[in-house]
């Protein structure tokens, strides 16, 4: 909890053929021996992740990927892993050997990345060994090009400056943007049960606390069992109450209607994804019938408790709603199916471990295949029949 989580970092992915110096480049950028460097082609077999700071951008995540020209059955699997990294990439570095220049592998990769509207920097590496004069195709003259020698640590500072210039400048939506103002009081309801990590708070709660402080607002934290007493002690009502979604039913009975109420998961639905699409996904719950297939997705892997939200509670609520058995599938971590067409509904966690691009990639893939998608908080709000109320702070209504 002392470091910026991966999901809040700018994701910079490094692509290229085998032995063009991708691993040496990530070592030079971080000034550490993070990735294994070898003359043997294909040393990098899985994406390697390294967190660092590049000021004034701030926290970034560098991703070293296997070569796009890998061979054989195993090579194809590695290439597939490389392509999946694009789903979370905010800025792409395409590294090529200066002697080789841009070839068919790089051209195909550039076309793919451009189609996803991801900014690109071409890195001509091993420039210290470069002896010939290479012409760059006019087709790629609009793409920034930086020459480096990762092993000689040459051109690295120029590359960092280009990364700063090309990094997406879209203003990030903060968790509490438009919901609170300076001096407002926010009460956070954080149940402590068997699923809570011992000695600390879960990531969404920590991030909301930080964002409240960034807004120069005031915050109080209590368990749901102490909420009534907390409200009684206040001289004036809070401007907003944020609760764990699983406590919706209990908390909504305590909080007066005139006090705005929402949940951590719904805050993340807007912050990391598309709240309107997830609200539309909730409507699909009433169309489910026994036997339908439902996919439940979590961004992290953790030890399952006896009454786990993803594997026990949500399936139980949905089957009670439809009046019969449903067919459930579960995926966790970075896994997400390509073909989603068999599912009648996708239920996703709050996605605190993913960056916004990855979550939007998942949402858009579901929409493209005509599959409704909803997240935990929106689903629980719908199931407890208070969704309209907990969406009021965002001026969104469920029809």
Question: Dihedral sign, CA of 193, 202, 50, 42?
Answer: positive
The torsion defined by the Cα of 8, 9, 15 and 21, in degrees rounded to 10, comes to: -150
At 283-309, the pLDDT tens digits run 999 999 999 999 999 877 655 566 788
**Rounded to 5 degrees, what angle do the CA atoms 215, 217, 218 make?**
150
* 272: nearest Cα among 15, 55, 3, 5: 5
DSSP element (H, E) containing 12: strand 10-16
Cα dist. 9→122, 136, 193 in Å? 22, 32, 30
pTM: 0.78
Identify the pLDDT of residue 40: 46
Determine what percent of the chain is predicted with pLDDT higher than 90: 58
C-alpha span between 20 and 123 (Å, rounded): 10
Identify the pLDDT of residue 301: 60
Residue 351 structure tokens = 């996605």
DSSP structure string for 220-231: EEE-GGGHHHHH
C-alpha span between 187 and 185 (Å, rounded): 7
- Which domains, from first to last, does the chain contain? 6-166 (3.40.50.300), 185-267 (3.40.50.11420), 274-389 (3.40.50.11410)
The residues that bridge with 373 in the sheet, in sequence order, are 346
C-alpha span between 186 and 247 (Å, rounded): 17
Which residue's entry shows tokens 């994701």?
Answer: 11
Identify the pLDDT of residue 399: 44
Identify the pLDDT of residue 137: 53
Three-state secondary structure call for residue 14: strand
Helix, strand, coil share of the chain (percent; to 5): 40, 20, 40
Three-state secondary structure call for residue 189: strand
Tens of each residue's pLDDT in the chain, 399 residues: 456 666 678 999 999 998 899 989 998 998 877 655 445 444 555 688 888 888 888 889 999 988 887 766 666 776 777 788 888 999 999 999 988 888 888 998 999 999 989 999 999 999 887 655 455 555 666 899 999 998 888 999 999 999 999 988 755 678 999 999 999 999 999 998 666 666 678 888 999 999 999 999 999 999 999 999 999 999 999 999 999 999 999 999 999 999 999 999 999 999 988 999 999 999 999 999 999 999 999 877 655 566 788 999 999 999 999 999 999 999 887 667 889 999 999 999 988 888 888 899 999 999 999 999 999 999 999 999 999 999 999 974 444
The torsion defined by the Cα of 385, 387, 389 and 394, in degrees rounded to 10, comes to: 180
Non-local CB neighbours of 145 within 8 Å, separated by 6+ positions: 121, 122, 123, 124, 136
């Amino acid at each position: 909890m002392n470091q910026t989580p991966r999901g809040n970092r700018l994701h910079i992915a490094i692509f290229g053929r085998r032995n063009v110096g991708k691993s040496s480049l990530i070592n030079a950028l971080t000034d550490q021996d993070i990735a294994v460097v070898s003359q043997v082609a294909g040393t990098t077999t899985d994406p390697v992740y390294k967190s660092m700071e590049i000021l004034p951008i701030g926290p970034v995540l560098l991703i070293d990927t296997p070569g796009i020209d890998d061979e054989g059955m195993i090579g194809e699997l590695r290439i597939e892993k490389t392509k999946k990294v694009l789903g979370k990439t905010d800025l792409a570095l395409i590294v090529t050997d200066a002697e080789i220049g841009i070839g068919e592998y790089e051209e195909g990769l550039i076309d793919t990345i451009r189609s996803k509207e991801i900014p690109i920097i071409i890195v001509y590496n091993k420039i210290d060994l470069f002896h010939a004069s290479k012409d760059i195709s006019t087709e790629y003259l609009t793409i920034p090009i930086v020459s480096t020698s990762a092993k000689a640590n040459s051109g690295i500072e120029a590359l960092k400056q280009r990364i700063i210039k090309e990094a997406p400048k879209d203003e990030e939506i903060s968790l509490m943007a438009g919901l609170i103002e300076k001096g407002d009081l926010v009460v956070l309801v954080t149940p402590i049960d068997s699923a809570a990590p011992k000695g600390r708070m879960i990531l969404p709660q920590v991030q909301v606390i930080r964002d409240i402080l960034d807004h120069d607002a005031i915050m109080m934290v209590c368990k749901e069992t102490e909420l009534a007493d907390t409200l009684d002690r206040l001289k004036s009502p809070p401007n907003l109450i944020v609760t764990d979604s699983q406590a919706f039913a209990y908390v909504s009975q305590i909080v007066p209607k005139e006090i705005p109420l929402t949940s951590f998961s719904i805050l993340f639905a807007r912050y990391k994804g598309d709240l309107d699409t997830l609200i539309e996904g909730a409507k699909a719950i009433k169309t489910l019938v026994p036997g339908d297939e439902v996919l439940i997705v979590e961004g992290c892997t953790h030890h399952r408790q006896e009454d786990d939200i993803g594997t026990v509670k949500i399936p139980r609520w949905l089957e009670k709603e439809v009046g019969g058995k449903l067919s459930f599938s579960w995926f966790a971590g970075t896994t997400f199916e390509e073909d989603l067409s068999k599912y009648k509904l996708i239920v996703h966690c709050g996605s605190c471990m993913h960056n916004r691009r990855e979550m939007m990639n998942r949402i858009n893939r579901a929409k493209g295949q005509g599959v409704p998608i909803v997240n935990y908080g929106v689903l629980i709000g719908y199931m407890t029949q208070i969704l309209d109320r907990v969406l009021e702070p965002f001026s969104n209504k469920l029809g």
